[in-house]
Chain A
Amino acid sequence: MTKQLITLTVNGDIHEIAVASHHTLLDVLRNDLGLTGTKRGCTAGSCGVCTVNGAKGEAICSCLTLAVEWDGRSVTTIEGIQEGNALHPVQAAFLEYGAVQCGFCTPGVIMTAKALLDVNTSPSEEEINETLAGAICRCTGHIKIKKAVRAAAIVLREREAAEAS
């Protein structure tokens, strides 16, 4: 098995890791770095539980990208979004609205929602639906999840307005 040395920034920490060339970013996050908040689901890009955010904040299925391609790049996982000791507004909203059943999809859904709200704090209903289509909750449906996303959007919007003034 060939291994390649890559430099990967995860949640701001720089790691130098020797990764197997056939391992996905998900494999490396979970098995090499012990960041098991990012879940392993369908491994085929259908469920979204493995969602992480790339350098531009974009949502990416970490199961569908090879780790060697991440040399020199940075990634944010669910472990890296809290703000100091406080939860990220999306995390806080999920708690407040009980947008969790078994919790397995939650990290992926939160990273998916965060990717949307990072670039657009006033998403339309259609944009929320379209975004969440890539992150599936099989327990409950998406009603509470969408409520939480809308609530988080309000918090982030207010923060934006406060920063602008």
Chain B
Amino acid sequence: MSGGSDLLVNMKFKLDTPKVLISLNGLPELQTVEELPDGSLRIGGGCKLTDLIKNPLIVAQCPALRDALYGVASRHIRNVGTLGGNLCLDTRCWYTNQSEQWRDKREGCFKTGPDLCHVLKTATRCHAINSSDSAPLLIAIGASVTLASHTGEREVPLIDFYRDDGVHHTVLESGEILVAVTVPRFEGRAIFAKLSQREGLDFAAGTFAAAVAGPNDHLESVRLVVNSMGAAPKVLIVSEQILKKSGLTDEGIEKAALAARGTMGEITNIFTPSGYKRRLVKALIRDALVELREQPAGNEASR
């Protein structure tokens, strides 16, 4: 357990019933931010979100990461919640994330036992939603995570850290912890956008992160990621190709947003109707890309 603001709630709801709980809070080694010789940042998994928001290295190198972290829950939660905890945040679903009494009256599901999903009847796996706000932005800027166990450490690109399965939603193995996040030196522009029903202290209905390098009319690289739409953050490859070809033009942005809406595929109707989510994806992406276009190109600290 790190901050515990997610896990303890799930334990109270009897969604998690660990026999033993080990706190990582007393480990200062997990709470440092350092700049590596190659200019990348190594952020300890146990760093509190409140501290990261104020961290001058993060504010200077990637203000969009600060924006993403600032959007997480409330001050109260960010004062205890950690970056590692936000990345490992358990998936949520309106069927399962209810009181024990509510669940007792109904059938189980993938999360609690039988191979059933009550949200998507045809499902062959759990479709609970990954609501990590930091994940899409960190994936967009190419971050990786360091996982450690008693047998050693391994480094995993963040996009490969997630599995598109609400029950086993990360590759984290038993006995393994997330010790650090490495953010490569980022020379482009990035943006994070979140839409939730309530502005503060709410899980997102949708989040979107974009990272681009190069001038607006000739992008050298584009990475677009959405989250809070499925069990894993999703990279929008088709939309990326469109933008690479057309640049951040009105037409390119519109096409990319429309393509994103089309590629969402098996979007689940968790918390909000799926039709609403499709429209939301399009609007979220379009507005964020228009805003990103206005950011000055070329310099690393863009906003």
Contact = CB atoms under 8 A, between A and B. Distances in A.
Interface of A: 24, 43-46, 48, 51, 54, 58-61, 64-66, 69, 112, 115-116, 129-131, 133-135
Given A45-B73, A66-B23, A130 B79 contact: no
A54 B74 CA distance: 16
B199 A66 contact: no
Q: Main SS of chain A's interface residues?
A: mixed
Nearest to B50: A58
Contacts, number: 66
Contacts of B5: 45, 61, 64
B200 interface: yes
Contacts of A129: 200
A118 to B, nearest CB: 12
B201 A134 contact: yes
B4 A66 contact: yes
A60 B79 contact: yes
B8 interface: yes
The 8 closest A-B pairs by CB, nearest first: A133-B200, A134-B74, A134-B76, A58-B79, A44-B9, A61-B76, A64-B5, A59-B76
Q: Main SS of chain B's interface residues?
A: loop
A59 B74 CA distance: 10
B77 interface: yes
A19 to B, nearest CB: 14
> Interface centre among A45, A69, A133, A135, by most B CB within 10 Å?
A45
B14 to A, nearest CB: 13
A134 B9 contact: no
Contacts of A66: 4, 8, 21, 23
Nearest to A48: B76
B193 to A, nearest CB: 17
